[in-house]
Structure 1
Amino acid sequence: MAAVVIRYAGIRRILPLDAPTLLSALLEQAEVPLAKPCGGAHTCGKCKVRAYGALSPLSQEERRLLTIGEQLENWRLACAAEAVGDCTIEVGEAVSAQIQTAGQVNSWEGSSLFGAEGYALAADIGTTTVAVYLVSLSEPFSGACPSTSELNAQAPYGADVISRIASVSQKGVVPLREAILRQLDRLFISLLETAGVPKQAVRGVVLTGNTTMLHLAAGLDPSGIAAAPYIPQSLFGVLYSARGWFPSLSPAVQVYLAPCISAYLGGDLTCALLSSPLRQWELLIDVGTNGEMALMTPDGLFCCSTAAGPAFEGAGLRCGRTAGPGAIDRVAIREGIPDCRVIGGGPALGICGTGAIHAVAALLEAGLLDETGLLDERYGEEFPLQNGVVLTQQDIRQLQLAKAAIAAGADTLLHHAGVSCDRLAGVSLAGGFGSYIDPAAAMRIGLLPRISAPVVSMGNAAGMGACLCAQSEPALHEAERIAQDARTIELASDPFFNERYIEQMLFTP
């Protein structure tokens, strides 16, 4: 029988091979993290690995997405290349990221659903990142607690909810459920050990996330979310036993999944609203792959969700990467020459979403990008930034689509509430990405409404809300009330949104 040698992070693993197998499937079997933003659709070219030995010939997709130099240096696309005999796969170090776990929070009175003693664990399962928290049940939650985070282990199944759902249709829900539960179980135990808390002291777990992420965690098929009439199997707000969820915890531990508002307005928005209640005419936006937003009005809470896609997370951009060491996160252009700030210093390895927003804003200010998003002709199809990192014309188009979706969603909420942008009392940005956005750059490209009122980062408001649900039963019931009473604006069938989406594609001054 043939064997496949996998080298990753200084570790050498050997897997048997009895039939031609995709390199991505072998890496998945070996639990080696691999970026696949397109979910294996052969469109992003991000799953590059070095491979030697008995391999399938270069596919058409690989010839298109790999440079000649990369092909000569034995780079392959894990989603396209197959191992057909004895071979070796080399995977680089996992990409680290700046993941926001902290956030602002209001305190709540009342004891926990899980009891008055011991501890609870909480987790915000984002499409891109996962943050976990350890909450004491014997004292009010102040927002300060032990936490840790990682990139979501489901990333090999796609960068956004639609590609994850497509992966479920091909492979079933079990692989994706096992990936996230294994990751959470490991992070929980690591957090407990770091804090010096025995696992026997854990009384409950609260999970939040968008509706798709919670379906995957619960092992429910989310396919109803992806097609009209967009009906999820559950909007949660329910308790489960930890048996079959987290093997490291006692089966007596209860697992609560936060209440969702609709198919695309998840428990993450509910928890964000719980931890950072809005003033009248204040807008909350979670700028991410699945852009969720809410507007508080005298008539109640108006909410909507818009598919921004993974561009703001760096996925889908030619040189895109998560916000971590080596990523460009700030760009200024002086006399046509870019001045880039790189996270951690050193040479640039790529550009993250905040850096891409800065780059587009800088290009607009320098007159090197017109309002239609067309680069100055002297640069052709790409603008050089630093150390071979570029922003391409296609990258700019992806950012246009993403920012138009967010901006048109905000415009639609204001339209249905019957109020103009200048009436806004402020904008709160929730989520890890929102924590690092430069409001001036975001306003310049039209991502955020141009207002003089404050624009405030709330940090990981969803994670803070999950902690509140864990620590206070009255807070948990308030989250359920928020989800029940919120008024959802369905953008897919809204003529105003469709009109504004086209208009917001422009980078108007």
Structure 2
Amino acid sequence: MVKVNFIGENKAILVEKGTTILAAAQELGIVIESPCNSEGVCGKCKVRISESSMKNVEEYGKHQLSEGEKEQGFVLSCQTTVTGHVDVKAVAKNRNKTLQILNHGQSFDIDVNSFIKKEYTSNGKTIVTAGGKVLGEEDGDTTTQNYGVVVDIGTTTLVATLVNINTGEELHSVSALNPQSQHAQDVLSRIKFASDDKGLDAMYSMIIKELNKLIEKAASHTGVLQKHIYEVIFSGNTCMIHLAANVNPYSLGKYPYTPAITGGSSLSYKEHLLDISRLGSIYLPPIISSFVGPDITSGVLATRLQDKEQVTLFVDIGTNGEMVLSDHGALTATSTAAGPAFEGMNISYGMRAEKGAIEYFEIDENGEIDIRTIEDGEAIGICGSGLLDIVGELVVHKVIDKRGRLASPENTDLKQSLRNRLVKIDGKIAFEVASGVYLTQKDIRQVQLAKGAVRAGIEFLMDAKQLRPEDVDEIQIAGSFGFHLRAKSLINIGLLPKEFEGKIDFVGNTSKSGGLAFLLNQKYRDEMESLVNEIDVIELSNGENFDRIFVDCLSFDKKSA
């Protein structure tokens, strides 16, 4: 056995020789993100080894590290095993303390007619019912103590909102990172990880543990007793709902990609160990398809797409690009795998939306740069909104060409101030965004792939309905990430056609606001269960010419259809 000591954490553990540093950290409960599931390709699990410890580690993956990082003692914790006593300093710390997660979204006036009701009887008991069915009784008059929780289970983040079911009042919202992202960043990786019993148990246990923390935190803040929380709404993509319900998502990763559950149903709290009333339950909104989940069902409900008397395109931009086209109320949906680049993952200096992350970037006509960071902290990395700003501005100012290639520092067509920022790192050209923060050619390719996937989905959806960009009257951008974007950047990089300019509305976290409607009025459950069956779902993997459309959408000069 050898000792792994995590300096600064005041924690140490004895492990077998050959154990990875990441595995040692996980045993101690120390969070080191490994979104690529320890494949050694994301570079996010970097830790620094003391100089005296370097002789006691064996590395088998350095390709995500710069020469400078290697010289300073950095290693990938998932690719480095220990052979003797090792002192480690973890890089990523305090990851939830300043994280920006959106908890509000567009909605409509909701008449309260909840699924959960309480009635005080003459014998001194309060009867609790769900959809008219008696769940049980409580001593005394507890009719005023009737609460629920709406949970937006995102691939990257979680938002839990405590709600007074009697009045419809939102009492308190709390948020956190989805802990599953420590092991697998995107949906496909998570499906693979959870396709056996051990992986599923890990994913399920992590999400339930974190949700209980959020529920306890919200209840404690408001003084609500958790025994008076009777229903929890799970709103998230199809894979996340499977994992939160402890259902193996294996079928989502194998043709014909059929969900093992369809939603529109309730689960008993007893089977899922949520810290709520013993009479409580979990409601799963209806699932549209394998990759268009209840979060989009909630989004459709929140924005009332089915009632639109025009052409409206609803797009939820995140690790998945899920979208619904409403052609005067007739709905068509699809989904595309954007990957984690928009969340700052797989980006050299990418990070979450935390203090010090560059979130705004603009170049003026003289080539001068305006940068803003979250909480005005010193720039230490780039979050998703900043990334799209940076790439979009560099495209407009010809620092990045239409194929995604960075210009040469010798390019005299560029402003001198921009040429000065084109530097070489490990022999390759990169753009210095801020002191010590760079955008690399690899990063630009990641953005191209992500934006190309979303744009191709939009193009394919419009083509399927024989619509042109100018035919679309309104574009709704949903999701926590999407809310922080600028329309200008989306058009600059070609993620949206130029014809959409002036028609874009950012509708926020509609997964949560739609989930609230499900909680407060039971009629929307029947309505949406019926509507989901009428939505025309287009699977891009089966689409003719989709590959050609995708390749065409990679170009940064793809501003119009």
> One fold, TM greater than 0.5?
yes
Matched, 1:365 2:396: yes
2:178 corresponds to which residue?
Answer: 152
Q: List per-residue Cα deviations over 1:43-88 (Å, max 9, x = no partner).
A: 11110123454885342313x2233443344322121122344434
Deviation at 1:403, TM superposition (A): 0.8
1:33-432 to structure 2, matched below 5 A, reads 33-52=31-50, 53=53, 57-62=57-62, 64-91=63-90, 92-95=92-95, 96-116=98-118, 117=143, 118-140=146-168, 144-169=170-195, 171-278=198-305, 279=308, 280-298=310-328, 300-334=330-364, 335-378=366-409, 379=422, 381-432=429-480
Give the number of equivalent residue pairs: 504
What is the alpha-carbon root mean square deviation over aligned residues?
2.1
Once the two structures are overlaid, the 10-residue window that deviates more, 87-96 or 380-389, is 87-96
Which has the larger displacement, 474-483 or 355-364?
474-483
Alpha-carbon deviation of 1:417? 1.5
Deviation at 1:98, TM superposition (A): 1.1
- The amino acid that maps onto 1:133 is T
1:475 aligns with 2:524: yes
State the match for 2:22 in structure 1: 24
112 and 29 in structure 1: CA distance in 2 versus 1, 3 angstrom threshold: farther
- Could you tell me how far apart the structure 2 residues matched to 1:248 and 1:7 are? 35
Q: 1:155 to 1:299 in 2, by over 3 A?
A: closer
Q: Give, in angstroms, the shift of residue 237 of structure 1.
A: 2.0
Residues 1:263 and 1:51: Cα distance change in structure 2 (over 3 Å): same
Distance 2:106 2:383 in 1: 24
CA 1:319–1:270 in 2, change beyond 3 Å: closer, same or farther? same
The worse-fitting range, judged by mean Cα deviation, of 485-494 and 25-34 is 25-34
Contact 2:101 2:480 in 1 (8 A): yes
Give me the TM-score of the superposition, normalised by structure 1.
Answer: 0.94
Q: Does 1:484 align with 2:533?
A: yes
Q: How many Å separate the matches in 2 of 1:467 and 1:299?
A: 22
Shift of 1:123: 0.5
Confirm or deny: 8 A CA contact 1:269 1:462 kept in the other structure: yes
Is 1:436 the counterpart of 2:484? The answer is: yes
AA in 2 matched with 1:468: A
What do residues 363-410 of structure 1 show as CA deviations (whole Å, max 9, x unaligned)?
122122211111112235311110111111111111111111111111
Letter of the 1:458 partner, please give it: V
Contact in 1 for aligned 2:311/2:474 (Cα 8 Å): yes
SS of corresponding position for 1:79: helix
SS in 1 for 2:163: strand
Identity across the alignment (%): 31
What does the per-residue CA deviation read over 1:14-44, in whole Å, with 9 as the maximum and x for residues that have no partner? 4342453222222223232222221211011
Instruction: Give distance in 2, aligned partners of 1:483 and 1:5.
Output: 53
Compute the displacement of 1:490 (Å).
0.7
Question: Larger Rg: 1 or 2?
Answer: 2
Q: Distance in 1 between matches of 2:94 and 2:461?
A: 39
Is the contact made by 1:136 and 1:471 (CA closer than 8 Å) also made in structure 2?
no
Where do 5+ consecutive residues of structure 1 fail to align?
Answer: none
Q: So what's the TM-score if we normalise by structure 2? A: 0.85
Q: Which amino acid aligns with 1:463?
A: K
CA distance in 1, matches of 2:175, 2:166: 24
**Distance in 2 between the 1:50 and 1:111 partners?**
56
Amino acid at match of 2:514: G
Q: Which runs of 5+ in 2 are unaligned?
A: 119-142, 410-421, 423-427
Secondary structure of the residue aligned to 2:10 is strand
Q: Deviations over 1:217-263 (max 9, x none)?
A: 11111121122211121122221111242353233211112221111
Q: 1:504 matched to which residue of 2?
A: 553
Aligned to 2:507: 458
Aligned-partner SS, 2:360: strand
